[in-house]
Amino acid sequence: MAISKIVNNKKQHHHSYISVPSEIINSLSSTSLQSLADTPKKTAAVSKISNFSNLKICKNPRIWFLFLFTCGFLFMLKSYKFDPFSPYPCGILGQKDDSKLISNGALSSVVKINEKDDKKLSDFWEQPDGLGYRPCLDFSNEYKKSSVEILKDRTKYLVVVVSGGMNQQRNQIVDAVVIARILGATLVVPILQVNVIWGDESEFSDIFDVEHFKRSLADDVRVISSLPSNHLMSRPVEEKHTPLHVSPQWIRSRYLKRMKREGVLLLRGLDSRLSKDLPSDLQKLRCKVAFHALRFAPPIFDLGNKLTERMRSKGPYLALHLRMEKDVWVRTGCLPGLSSKYDEIIYNERKLRPELLTSRSNMTYHDRKLAGLCPLNALEVTRLLKALRAPKNARIFWAGGDPLGGKEALLPLMKAYPNFYNKEDLALPGELEPFANKASIMAALDYIVSEKSDVFMPSHGGNMGHAIQGHRAYAGHRKTITPNKRQMLSYFLNPSLPEAEFNKIIFDLHRDSMGQPVIRTSKSGRDVTKYPIPECMCNDSLVQQA
């Protein structure tokens, strides 16, 4: 519409020749071309020349004809202000008219609309204000002094066996280092238990950079790859039933004497066994392990960075961690929302293995949904992204295992956001083959690409979502959307709510859920590796103000 207005305005003014495609010229009639030539100025010129010929100045008809033609042609060019040597042969008037259109007319509206759209689309990629917080792992003098004796000790060794998926293993390794520090013991590189669900037999060195792990913790805990030969035949003290959320005092009173006597302590099942509220130095050690020491092994690290570069090659991207696997629906007591066929599959699996249901077995599916305990399905994620103004051309990397229902489960997202990729889509032929049937390594690749994204959003909580949230906060509070499921799902279940009103409500609900700094003291009992302020990050401006 705007362009047609410009063409119409140019036709009305007739101030200059306009360069147009030959197809348009061919479409003009001879009558319209003649009307352009029959101007008052041209008629007057011809009349004057006719009078001049009556004076019979020139007797040669050929010379007279050439003179008439030359004068008429030059006079016409002058009347149209045509300068063949100008960079703009159509003259200055054409430029002035165009500039008027740009400043006052149709082109102006096009420019303004485009700028408005670009700004609206770019809002989604804007990062939260980090308020000046930066990583800050300043250990106390007392901690540093005690490190000297701890690192010299060769009498106590801690062996730990960690279980679960890769991110669950990360959490347990973090706590294993802290427990070794509490006991003043040497830590043997943790043993990764074979994953029961995925059958992954990866060892620590397959997933993490062992030498980097040792170097990073050289001032905190002594780490060795295996037990010394004089302890290989000893029977270690084994503890399988450590209570939840124990304190450092409990750890020392329970294990220290036995460890000194036997020399070796074997711990299993460390998940959430150590309290989340520890003295400041031990909290800092947790952050040091999670954000510095636990670097992925070089092959994983390199490939993860390549996948990241491929995602970013055409601009910013969003990473989604989708929890839509069969075991997730079974364990959460929720339904995938695909069809009665898949609901029946989940119901039967849960009936056969009731122990898989993690908690609150007395709640109905509907109650769980409203309480925010269920993962979002693809349709809900799509509606949430639209409400949060994710542009239609947004590049999306989705992390996670194969969803129940395959691609059918992802159709709403793929239809709304066609630039939709996972690691299999991004990898070149053969790049993923070395990691086939290695679920933990595949999860590590997802972790790298998600952690480095411009925007990250998990469809459900869990170890990976929490770990990446903390990592992104520690890296400068990069935008991390936390779906406010408990408050928003009642609106999702209201079909009579107009879309515009729904979008506004959902957008307003998430204004403070974009990865802004959150002080952990208001989240007592939460993991410092998810909320690294104030133990692991500090703000110089706040210190100066104080």
CA dist 346 → 63, 399, 412 (Å):
101, 22, 21
Q: Is 265 in the same domain as 364? A: no
pLDDT, residue 94, reads 36
Q: Is 350 in the same domain as 260? A: no
Residue 327 φ/ψ region, left for φ over 0, alpha for ψ in the -120 to 50 degree band, beta for the rest: alpha
Q: Is 266 in the same domain as 320? A: no
Q: Is 387 in the same domain as 489? A: yes
Listing DSSP states for 522-541 in one string gives GSTTS-TTTS-BTTTEE-HH
Report yes or no on whether pTM surpasses 0.75: yes
Query: Going along 189-279, which residue ranges are E strands?
Result: 191-192, 223-224, 237-239, 264-268
pLDDT, residue 69, reads 62
Q: Which residues pair with 359 in a beta bridge?
A: none
In a domain, 38, yes or no: no
DSSP single-letter state for residue 398:
E
* Residue 159 parent element (H or E): strand 157-162
Which CATH number goes with the domain that contains 233?
A: 3.40.50.11340
CA dist 314 → 391, 395, 453 (Å):
14, 8, 13
Task: State the number of CA atoms in the 13 A half-sphere of 149 facing the CB.
Answer: 7
Q: Is 270 in the same domain as 402? A: no
Q: Is 289 in the same domain as 353? A: no
pLDDT, residue 542, reads 59
Distance CA 481, CA 502 (A): 18
Strand, coil or helix: what is 319? strand
Listing DSSP states for 175-210 in one string gives HHHHHHHHHT-EEEPPEEPPPTTT-----HHHHB-H
In a domain, 284, yes or no: yes
Distance CA 20, CA 58 (A): 41
Give Cβ neighbours of residue 119 (< 8 Å, ≥ 6 apart): none
Enter the tokens of residue 539.
Answer: 């703000």
pLDDT, residue 75, reads 56
pLDDT (tens, 9 = 90+) of the chain, 546 residues, equals 443 333 344 334 443 333 333 333 333 333 333 443 344 433 444 344 344 444 444 456 566 556 666 666 565 555 544 444 433 333 333 333 333 322 233 323 333 334 344 444 469 999 999 999 999 999 999 999 999 999 999 999 999 999 989 999 999 999 999 999 999 999 999 999 987 666 788 999 999 999 999 999 999 999 999 999 887 766 777 887 889 999 999 999 999 999 999 899 999 989 889 999 999 999 999 999 999 999 999 999 999 999 999 999 999 999 999 999 998 999 898 999 899 999 999 989 988 888 777 666 678 888 999 899 999 999 999 999 999 999 999 999 999 999 999 999 999 999 999 999 999 999 999 999 999 889 999 999 999 999 999 999 999 988 999 999 999 999 999 999 999 999 999 999 999 999 999 999 999 999 999 999 999 987 778 999 999 999 999 997 654 444
Distance CA 375, CA 363 (A): 16
Exposed/middle/buried for residue 151 (C-beta within 10 Å: 0-12, 13-18, 19+): middle
Exposed/middle/buried for residue 324 (C-beta within 10 Å: 0-12, 13-18, 19+): buried
Q: Is 283 in the same domain as 428? A: no
Domain of 356 in residue numbering reads as 298-542
| Residue type for position 436 | A
CA dist 391 → 112, 274, 376 (Å):
18, 43, 20
Look at the chain and report how many structural domains it folds into: 2
In a domain, 350, yes or no: yes
Q: Over 103-153, what HEC string results?
A: HHCHHHHHHHHHHHHHHHHHHCCCCCCCCCCEECCCCCHHHHHHHHHHHHC
Q: Which of 324, 342, 333, 457 is nearest to 378 (CA)?
A: 324
Which CATH number goes with the domain that contains 434?
A: 3.40.50.11350
pLDDT, residue 47, reads 44
Enter the tokens of residue 246.
Answer: 């124990």
Tracing tokens 């411009």 back to the chain, one arrives at 454
Q: Is 261 in the same domain as 348? A: no
CA dist 526 → 179, 464, 523, 536 (Å):
18, 15, 6, 14
Q: Is 230 in the same domain as 359? A: no
In a domain, 531, yes or no: yes
DSSP single-letter state for residue 396:
E
The side-by-side arrangement of strands in the sheet containing 420-421 is 420-421, 395-399, 317-321, 455-458
In a domain, 54, yes or no: no
| Of 293, 326, 360, the domain-final residue | 293
Q: Is 289 in the same domain as 309? A: no
Q: Is 212 in the same domain as 358? A: no
If one counts every other C-beta atom within 10 angstroms of the C-beta of residue 397, the result is: 27
Q: Rounded to an integer, what is the distance from CA 351 to the centroid of its chain? A: 37
Tracing tokens 């150590």 back to the chain, one arrives at 274
| Of 293, 317, 345, the domain-final residue | 293
| Of 293, 311, 345, the domain-final residue | 293
Distance CA 395, CA 379 (A): 18
Q: Computed from CA positions of residues 118, 123, 127, 129, in that sequence, does the dihedral angle turn out positive or negative? A: positive
In a domain, 95, yes or no: no
Give Cβ neighbours of residue 465 (< 8 Å, ≥ 6 apart): 321, 458
Enter the tokens of residue 150.
Answer: 């701890």
